[in-house]
Amino acid sequence: MVKAAVLTGTGLPLEIRDDVEVEAPHAGEVKIRFGASGVCHSDVSMQNGTMFPNCPIVLGHEGAGVIEEVGEGVTNVTVGDHVVVSWVPQCGECFFCTRNEGYLCKKADASLASGGLLDGTPRFTSGGAPLHQMAATGSFSEVSIIPASGAVKIDDDVPMTVAALIGCGVLTGVGAAMNTADIKPGDTVAVVGCGGVGLNVIQGARIAGASRIIAVDMNETKLQMAKDFGATDVINASDGDPVGKVMGLTEERGADVAFEVIGLQQTIDQVITMTRRGGEVVLVGVPKMDAMVQIPAFLGLVLQGKTIKGCWYGSSNTHEDIPKLVRLYKSGELKLDELISRTIPLDEVNEAFDAMATGEVARSVIAY
């Protein structure tokens, strides 16, 4: 039996249970003992009803650990390997995977909806009843079973706390800047929302060659961190409408590329407006299901020659991008240790949710 944090219903605090049973891996699956799990805003969105979880469910999708057992037919990893978990386990065979758009993998989508693995069923039980696992992961558990395609081997010397963050916030944020967007050297980029994901958009934009990076947040600590991660200008949105300030910094033109990394209707509207004619809007934050992109078709889009792109999992090819991010970390180009505001035990996961709501932390990381 293992310990895990379980969501039993919308709006409820997570229950720490120590009676969770983990089945052996089926064919094509692996057993992972987590070393660490980041706490991402998407976990909070599952709990507060922004997204619809299949309760009861073990949350957590930003994890890294060591392979303890492999199911039949698994060849990409072996017992003892250190791995980053991809919450989009890319099957490699569907329409999207074969077009190098694995972040849209059809099978992974189905597991996100079902709360199970690629066949739709979870490998956890508690009190004899099935317990779902978020995004085919469930990293708020000491041990889990995941699809082998969601396990990406990394070097043993990468700290688990850092490796965990690569699995969501870093892949998504850096990927949004380096894969989804088309940032050209010398571009001016605006990033609205400088949490765990937004800070990674900032450092991705820096690596992609943006010469000016305007960071927008409501929290001064985050704006300070944004500067450390590469922002050249910061705007505190609590001091008034950030759109006018971005215009003021860009000769009233707007940013070449602007990212929304919060998931709010208001800030989605802001990034669309603060993007220049011919520029690119990238929506990363996960909004409520009824949020709308509202834009006058002619005056706002056609005449403007603007592009609006959605970004899912940083448009990443996990099998190529995770090793690349590890290399960038090792060469000092990617700041990952600096993202960790707090290292906590699993029992403090509810406090980590509170700390995220108040904006105090970039990332709380559970160390097992």
Of the two residues 77 and 174, which places its CB atom closer to ligand PAD in the complex?
A: 174
DSSP classification of residue 103:
G
| Cα–Cα distance measured from residue 171 to residue 313, given in angstroms and rounded to the nearest whole number | 7
**Nearest-angstrom CA–CA distance, 355 and 196:** 13
2 binds, among ligand PAD, Zn ion, none (CB under 5 to 8 A by kind): none
Q: Which of 37, 42, 111, 203 binds Zn ion (CB under 5 A)?
A: 42
Residue 41 interacts with ligand PAD (CB under 6 A)? yes
46: nearest Cα among 263, 336, 192, 284? 263
Distance CA 185, CA 208 (A): 7
**Site for ligand PAD (CB under 6 A): which residue of 2, 74, 85, 192?**
192
193 binds, options ligand PAD, Zn ion, none, Cβ within 5 to 8 A by partner type: ligand PAD
Nearest to Zn ion of 134, 215 (CB atom): 134
Nearer to ligand PAD, 29 or 217 (CB): 217
Q: What is the DSSP string of 179-226?
A: IIS---TT-EEEEE--STTHHHHHHHHHHHT-SEEEEEES-HHHHHHH
**6 sits near ligand PAD (criterion: CB under 6 A):** no
Instruction: Please select the residue that binds Zn ion; options are 46, 168, 284, 349, rule is CB under 5 A.
Output: 168
Q: Candidates 32-40, 67-75, 76-84, 310-318 — which segment interacts with Zn ion by CB under 5 A? A: 32-40
Which of 253, 359, 360, 367: binder of ligand PAD (CB under 6 A)? 359
Binder among 56, 122, 263, 279 for ligand PAD (CB under 6 A):
263
> Stretches 114-122, 153-161, 189-197, 248-256: which one binds ligand PAD (CB under 6 A)?
189-197
Work out which of 40, 131, 135, 201 binds Zn ion, going by CB under 5 A. 40
* 35 touching ligand PAD, by CB under 6 A: no
Asked if residue 179 lies in contact with residue 200, where contact means CB atoms within 8 angstroms, the answer is no
Residue 93: Cβ within 10 Å count: 12
Query: How many Å is the Cα radius of gyration of the chain?
Result: 20
Question: Prior bond to 56 cis, omega within 30?
Answer: yes
Least distance in angstroms from the C-beta of 283 to ligand PAD? 8
Size, binding site for ligand PAD by CB under 6 A: 33
Q: Among 162, 184, 180, which residue's Cα sits nearest to residue 172?
A: 180
- The CA distance from 183 to 189, in Å, is 8
Stretch that binds ligand PAD, among 13-21, 122-130, 165-173, 336-344 (CB under 6 A): 165-173
Instruction: Report which DSSP code applies to 95.
Output: H
Question: Tokens in use for 170?
Answer: 């870093």
Residue 193 binds ligand PAD, judged by CB under 6 A:
yes
Q: Does 150 bind ligand PAD (CB under 6 A)?
A: no
319 with 292: CB under 8 angstroms?
Answer: no
- Between 45 and 144, whose beta carbon lies closer to ligand PAD? 45
Handedness of CA 323, 62, 108, 309 (dihedral sign): negative
Q: Does 123 bind ligand PAD (CB under 6 A)?
A: no
DSSP label of 73: T
Q: Which residues contact 335 (CB under 8 A, 6 or more apart)?
A: 203, 228, 229
Nearer to Zn ion, 225 or 234 (CB): 225
Collapse the DSSP code of 100 into the 3-class scheme (helix H, G, I; strand E, B; otherwise coil) and give the result. Answer: coil
| Binding track over 274-313 against ligand PAD, x by CB under 6 A | ----------xxx------------------------xxx
* Footprint of ligand PAD (CB under 6 A): 40-42, 45, 168-169, 172, 192-198, 216-219, 222, 237, 261-264, 267, 284-286, 311-313, 356, 359
* Footprint of Zn ion (CB under 5 A): 40, 42, 168
